[in-house]
Structure 1
Amino acid sequence: MGILTGILGLPLAPLRGTVAIGEQVLRQAEAAYYDPAVIKRQLETVEEQHRAGLLTDEEAAWWESELLERLVEGADRVRP
């Protein structure tokens, strides 16, 4: 980076820092969203709520489908 480019780019430094922080937050949120352990706990919760009568058969099936789809998508994201 040249001196002129560095000087002219200084006003954009806070914006670059904000973007970098946003990207890090996004990576962490995606890691938590696709975490297999979290998804498995959520599947167990759906099963418990279904057994307790808090979810209908259709609602439980929908949640299980969504969570399993997320589990598969998360596994696909890990593969190169």
Structure 2
Amino acid sequence: MGLFTGLLLLPLAPVRGVNWLAETLYEVADRELHDPAVIRARLAALNRAYDDGEIDGATFEREEDRLLDLLEAPTPGTRTAYHLRGTH
């Protein structure tokens, strides 16, 4: 990027920073959502809540099915900023 281009794009720096932050947060959340260790910990917490009587059987079954589906689903590839912007 040349000096002239850099000066022209300088007012967009805050927008680019917010965009980078949003993309980074999305990637971290996506990785955590599909991390098997996190899903197993959530299953353990769900079992404890059921055993302690904090949730009923229907809620337990519904959440257990959802978590097991996440655990068995193929891990999606990491999306890059390139894919998030919709440009190819």
Report the structure, 1 or 2, having the larger helix content: 1
Q: Name stretches of at least 5 consecutive residues in structure 2 with no aligned partner.
A: 78-88
Offset of residue 2 of structure 1: 4.1
Give 1:76's aligned residue. Answer: 75
The answer to which of 46-55 and 30-39 deviates more is 46-55
Q: Which has the higher contact order (CA 8 A, sep 6+)?
A: 2
- TM-score between the two structures when normalised by the length of structure 1: 0.77
- TM-score between the two structures when normalised by the length of structure 2: 0.71
Q: Name stretches of at least 5 consecutive residues in structure 1 with no aligned partner.
A: none
Provide the aligned C-alpha RMSD in A: 2.1
The alignment of Structure 1 onto Structure 2 pairs a total of residues equal to 78
Q: Percent identity?
A: 32
Deviation >3 Å, runs of 4+: 1-4
